[in-house]
Chain A
Amino acid sequence: MEIIFYVLAALMILSACGVVFLKKPVHSALSLLFNMVLTAILYLAYLKAPFVAVVQVIVYMGAVVVFVLFVIMLVDLANGGFVEVIRVPRFFAAFVVAFVLLIQFLFLAGFIRGDIPIVSDYIHGDKLAELIFTKYALPFEVVSILIFSAVVGAVAMAKKKL
């Protein structure tokens, strides 16, 4: 099982790199889609969180990535005369910064302890629902308002004239 996990993790990192390093936005988006699938598998198989996995699939893959693909389709980059060139100094600077951050995070990892049991109960939606509608009722409602206003804002911005 652990071998499979490491393969999974390697694929996730690889697809993440794909998001960043692939030249065409469409490829980046598809790479992200692949990363999301792997994440959902991780949730389901190793973290025993089927509800989160399902939401991950529906929201991220079904909505967000598809949405981005639509926008990529609408935004015709080839005709915009936009050829993305990554400048080498910036690349290295970013690499250095990201590396420093990674090292720091790895050091901070020393603070994190704990094991995740491979064999454990699945956490289904009902238990989460209990928590969401009791302890997190207010944030839940606030998030609903936030999304609603985001939708209104998106419509307002996307329309040429209101």
Chain B
Amino acid sequence: MLRMEVIYGLSLIMFVIGFFGILVRRNAIVMFLSIELMLNSVNILFVAISKASGALDGQVIALFVMAIAAGEAAIGMAIITSYYRKKGNVDIDRAQLLRW
């Protein structure tokens, strides 16, 4: 028997680590990887809850999350490359294009 709480703890620790990465890292690519990590942790929770409750919806939603993550990867990488072309770096702290 696998306790639900254990899976939950694992998932949220990974989530918080991912969030921590977003907060401290300045490299846009690593921030992006952290986001993927967070998505992955949420996916684990979805599949686990699906298993525990017996409903399959959680797994389907996990699949949707993956699909959207793939789309996000395409867009995110395109943004990063075009930003790199413009500025010559991927330092988020120096990204001021949104600044008023």
Q: Please give me the residue from chain B that is nearest to A151 by CB atom.
A: B74
A56 to B69, CA, bound (A): 11
Q: How many residues of B contact A (CB 8 A)?
A: 72
Q: Tally inter-chain residue pairs, CB-CB below 8 A.
A: 239
- Residues on B with beta carbons closer than 8 Å to the beta carbon of A55: 63, 66
Using a CB–CB cutoff of 8 Å, the interface residues on chain A facing chain B are 2, 5, 9, 12-13, 16-17, 19-20, 25, 28-29, 32, 35-36, 39, 42-43, 46-49, 51-52, 55-56, 59-60, 63-65, 67-68, 70-72, 74-75, 77, 80-82, 84-86, 90-91, 93-95, 97-98, 101-102, 105-106, 109, 112-118, 120, 123, 127-128, 131-132, 135-136, 139-140, 143, 146-147, 150-151, 153-155, 157-158, 160
The contact sample of 23 A-B pairs, CB cut-off 8 A, is: A5-B2, A9-B6, A16-B18, A19-B17, A25-B27, A25-B29, A28-B33, A35-B37, A47-B48, A59-B66, A60-B40, A71-B77, A75-B90, A80-B88, A116-B1, A123-B51, A128-B60, A135-B57, A147-B68, A151-B74, A153-B75, A157-B75, A157-B82
